[in-house]
Chain A
């Protein structure tokens, strides 16, 4: 088990470097530069900038320099936000995204698991149809539509919550709800499907034949198997959530990582883009590893060595 974890952790490093390389290639293939804005710069100024950032070197030298810095954990300074290191920028903006992301996911888990389980146990009941239609609605309303609608209703009409900006618990409610909606919908559907599958299996019939109560059948015998699809969804979803969701940050004017990332790509801020990509890909792979490990705890048939 331990060697499995170590091996997987070690694999993450080359994988992340590969992802960084691909991203770097992608940025470099694209024409244009961070300094080539609307107007053309004088040739001398351009040459100076190129020299300053080492852009006059052959590409393999640039790549080598970038990689050797990254391997040491140094992503350099942002070229757009002068004098700020990439690490500082990530450190400053991550907490905003992580807060709403984590809260959003916990809310989604609470709603999704409860609704999904009840819907599965009362299959074809009014609750089942109602909650599953609601879940489908959650999947179908884009969050850039849902967010503003919530703002409109609770911010402008009812004055319950502030429509935007960061500060205080009450400012978290709307963004967290917007974020949670789609994930709650996903989790509810996955939970329902997983539970239905398990409740049909032979060993549930055995448990009932033993005279166990439905509560025991559900919580001792069914829940583990039913949760597996939810767990496998959780890894990537949580990584994406912690890293920030662009739309919610944009709609609610939250200074999170998602918007910084999009801006960095639009600005051709290469060091910042690479830094965030490396951070995100490591985050995704670490969460996937955690998911794999928790499979091992949930399902004794899975053994890692």
Chain B
């Protein structure tokens, strides 16, 4: 049992910087989290918040230069990923950690048949010969719900629809039975109805294969039903970290509250304006000294613009990066009790 609940991935104070003409962009600046075996973690944030860069860092896929992992520690199943040679990293990529990307349109190679793209993974990592790799690829395609897999395997990516392509991506990612699956906005580029199918598929495969999953998204609706815990990122920092249920019920950060409020509610009254967080995400190359969210925050005070906020533990496993974390948490608790009587 303790074996089962061991930690699969721990990221400690990760810093990934990009050297650009405008100066150093601290895309990820001191991220810490931990993922247990079989768990699903959601990482939420606006575009540019550093959620994708965090996970590309885990895979050591940051283009260098201009990117650079400037500090921190990434431990995957006891292995120090940042200390590995690039050849040893390649043995993990695709085999033990697999990734699904946002746009299945551009993430599959348009010049190669999907058979080539599926088979090369298992031939490389599992030492399959051609026939084995083909049989395995067909099995994987069937598993992700492509019915006439024997024929479709000879198609090119452009001959599939968007949803089907994402299924192919998932089949490819899961073909070596990885311990960790990183899904980077897997449904953003898809139609709403297809989104649900793909999420169901990931959920189903996760429970069948026991894979740990990191789900990156900007859509709180997506993570709600899928994840065990959630990290909210903003400007390269973790703003709030909590078990999923607790985060939705009692957010302890004004930014998270804003995000939750801006999820459109079907029961919304027609005349009321939709809520939106004022302003734009900050330029990560030129961050102000205080809280990066202060400019947009409704309850910001002088201290927020002056001093960087502390990472406060408001409850067990529930942290928030805010000068007023405890107050916000208390307010949320009151609102919840009010609502539920």
Contact = CB atoms under 8 A, between A and B. Distances in A.
A216 B125 CA distance: 14
Please classify the interface of chain A as helix (H, G, I), strand (E, B), loop, or mixed, using the class held by over half of its residues: helix
Chain B interface category by residue count: 20 to 34
Nearest to B93: A211
Interface stretch (B39-47, B98-106, B239-247): B98-106
A213 B87 CA distance: 8
B112 to A, nearest CB: 7
Nearest to B96: A211
A300 B111 contact: yes
Nearest to B87: A213
B275 to A, nearest CB: 33
B92 A299 contact: no
A224 B110 CA distance: 10
Contact of A216 (B107, B120, B169): B120
A205 B90 contact: no
A203 B98 CA distance: 14
Contacts, number: 72
A207 B61 contact: no
A210 B121 contact: yes
Interface string B145-164: 00000000000101000000
Contact of B95 (A211, A221, A224): A211
A305 to B, nearest CB: 15
Interface in A187-241: 201-203, 205-213, 216, 220-221, 224-225
A299 B109 CA distance: 11
B124 A211 contact: yes
Contacts of A225: 110-111
B108 A212 contact: no
A301 B111 CA distance: 8
B67 interface: no
A202 B106 contact: yes
A224 B92 CA distance: 27
A124 interface: yes
Interface in B80-97: 90-95
Contacts of A209: 59, 61, 93-94, 98-99, 101
B289 interface: no
A271 to B, nearest CB: 47
B172 interface: yes
B65 interface: yes
A267 B110 CA distance: 53
A205 B101 contact: yes
A298 interface: yes
A291 B59 CA distance: 39
B111 A211 contact: no
A221 B124 contact: no
A300 B101 contact: no
B208 to A, nearest CB: 22
A210 B158 contact: no
Contacts of A299: 110-111
A253 B121 CA distance: 57
B116 to A, nearest CB: 8
A210 B93 contact: yes
A107 B106 CA distance: 35
A208 B98 CA distance: 11
Contacts of A301: 110, 156, 158
Contact of A205 (B95, B107, B113, B125): B107
Contacts of A211: 90-95, 121, 124-125
A300 B169 CA distance: 19
B107 A206 contact: yes
B108 A206 contact: yes
Given A202-B103, A300-B156, A301-B158, A210 B110 contact: no
Contacts of A207: 109
A298 B109 contact: no
B107 A220 contact: no
By CB atoms of chain B within 10 A, which of A203, A213, A216 has the most?
A203
8 contacts: A203-B109, A208-B93, A209-B99, A211-B94, A298-B111, A299-B110, A300-B111, A301-B158
Cβ-closest 8 pairs across A and B: A211-B94, A211-B93, A210-B94, A202-B106, A203-B109, A224-B111, A300-B156, A209-B99
Given A210-B172, A300-B158, 5 more contacts: A124-B65, A202-B106, A203-B109, A212-B94, A300-B156
Interface of A: 124, 201-203, 205-213, 216, 220-221, 224-225, 298-301
